[in-house]
Amino acid sequence: MKPFHTIYNKALEWSKSKFAIYWLSGISFLESSILPYPIQDIILASMSLKNKNKAYYYAFVCTLSSVVGGIVGYYIGYYAYDIFLPFLQEMNYIDMLDRAKVWFDDYGIWVIAIAGFSPVPYKIFTITAGAMSMHVVPFIAMSILSRGARYYLVSFLVKRYGDSCDLWLQKYIDRLGYSLIVIVFLGIWYVQ
């Protein structure tokens, strides 16, 4: 079974569409507020691979869409946390939200920097930031920095290593995906 290979190939297919930029921006937006799976990196990488001259433009679009989605997630937490609570419970996010609150208390705004750059579910931290009434301007600034660093790094690597990067991903995408799941679960287990 190769689910990550299937997702990667689907993302490659989307990146060839004339609507690719809309897929990228829509998925980046949704991933920061409600979408459970972060596949925008794969779409960004495949689009950057297809058109290396626009790689940084795609990173900009991805960053902007993701930050706007993060702001929506923030306001979901700020204004509608109680309304979305059953949905969050159904998706088993409550324990993660509780841990995120502890991390916000301990590390403040730096949690957004880590969540924005790393593969952890960013939406958990955008919603929690709003629920905890974090100041919105530092939240947005840190989101721009961390999400931008992540997406520009993806575009830089694809631009720099190009086709060899695609060959490597075709070969190792499933191992990478499963490894990421193990790392996330180990991280969750460690902080409990």
- Model confidence at 39: pLDDT above 80: no
CA count, 13 A, side-chain hemisphere, 133: 0
Q: How far apart are CA 25 and CA 69, in angstroms?
A: 10
pLDDT-derived band of residue 191, with 50, 70 and 90 as boundaries? low
Please calculate the CA angle 45-122-28 and round it to the nearest 5 degrees.
40
Q: Are 39 and 4 in contact (CB under 8 A)?
A: no
pLDDT-derived band of residue 136, with 50, 70 and 90 as boundaries? very high
The overall average pLDDT reported for the chain is: 82
Between 25 and 16, where is the model more confident? 25
The per-residue pLDDT for 12 is 72
pTM: 0.79
Q: Say which residues have a Cβ less than 8 Å from residue 175's Cβ, sequence separation at least 6.
A: none
- Model confidence at 170: pLDDT above 70: no
As a whole number, mean pLDDT of residues 38-63 equals: 87
Q: In terms of Cα–Cα distance, which of 57, 45, 64 is closest to 160?
A: 45
The per-residue pLDDT for 25 is 92
pLDDT digits (tens, 9 = 90+) for 154-163: 899 888 887 7
- Model confidence at 45: pLDDT above 90: no
The per-residue pLDDT for 184 is 60
Q: Say which residues have a Cβ less than 8 Å from residue 67's Cβ, sequence separation at least 6.
A: 32, 140, 143, 144, 147
As a whole number, mean pLDDT of residues 65-70 equals: 95
Q: How many domains does the chain have?
A: 1
As a whole number, mean pLDDT of residues 178-184 equals: 66
Question: Token pair of 146, please?
Answer: 């961390």
By residue range, what is the domain housing residue 121?
3-191
